[in-house]
Amino acid sequence: MLRLAASVVFIAVATVIAVPMLDRSANGVTSPPAQPIHAQRPTASPPQQAEQRKAKPAGRRSIALKADRSGHFSVETVINGRRLPMIADTGATSVVLTAEDARRIGIRPKERDFTVRMRTANGETTAAPVVLDEIRVGAIRVRNVHALVARPDALHVNLLGMSFIGELKRFEMRGGELILVQ
């Protein structure tokens, strides 16, 4: 529970810090420039379905995610061709990957890349801005997604934030489900 609380604080702070960075990026100003990451294609990825609920189709190019007991929307995504479990979080400005999962899909920021400052329950830290080639959730695909990579042990869950969700036609909460529509 403490890890979850620390993760929520991490995302809240990342949101406050990343919004200006993403706004500047959208207006053509970047500091520093985030380069698209080209991860290697997957060899094999162990299924982690025991802890996750699968997304179910809710129509053409839409997904309905059911909340788990704690109210989180777990979803299996495919990022740059590799499967990654995430929690959909409309309160997070950006997609945020754990350092460990980023490494697993071929994203290895250098020390100098950790330029986005943030405060967490464990203190102040930094994250590395990246641009993911593609994120897929079922039939939904979004390309060139701005994201952050957390430092090792700073975050214990990947977050599917608004840098992905905001690119969709719409999203809505309905009866314990988060509906994503492209």
Owning domain of residue 129: 2-36+51-181
| 45 domain residue, yes or no | no
Establish if 124 belongs to a structural domain: yes
Between CA 172 and CA 180 the distance in angstroms is 7
Radius of gyration of the chain (CA): 15
Token digits of residue 155: 């975050």
Q: Where are the beta strands (DSSP E) in the chain?
A: 36-37, 56-57, 62-66, 73-79, 82-88, 95-97, 116-120, 123-137, 140-150, 159-160, 170-174, 177-181
In a domain, 153, yes or no: yes
β-pair partners for 170: 181
CA separation for the pair 96, 77 (Å, rounded): 13
Residue 43 within a domain: no
Which structure tokens are listed for 117?
């400052």
Specify the pTM.
0.69
Question: Domain tally for the chain?
Answer: 1
Within-domain flag for 31: yes
Q: Digits of tens for pLDDT over the chain (182 positions)?
A: 445 444 544 454 444 444 444 443 443 333 334 444 433 333 333 333 333 344 444 446 899 999 999 999 999 999 999 999 999 999 888 999 999 999 999 999 999 999 998 665 566 889 999 999 999 999 999 999 999 999 998 888 999 999 999 999 999 998 899 999 99
Q: Assign residue 123 the CATH number of its domain.
A: 2.40.70.10
Q: Is residue 64 part of a domain?
A: yes
Amino acid at 128: A
Considering the domain boundaries, does residue 27 fall inside one? yes
HSE at residue 132, side-chain half, CA atoms within 13 A, is 29
Other CB atoms within 10 Å distance of the CB of residue 30: 12
> Are 109 and 101 in contact, with CB atoms under 8 Å apart?
no
Position 46 in a domain: no
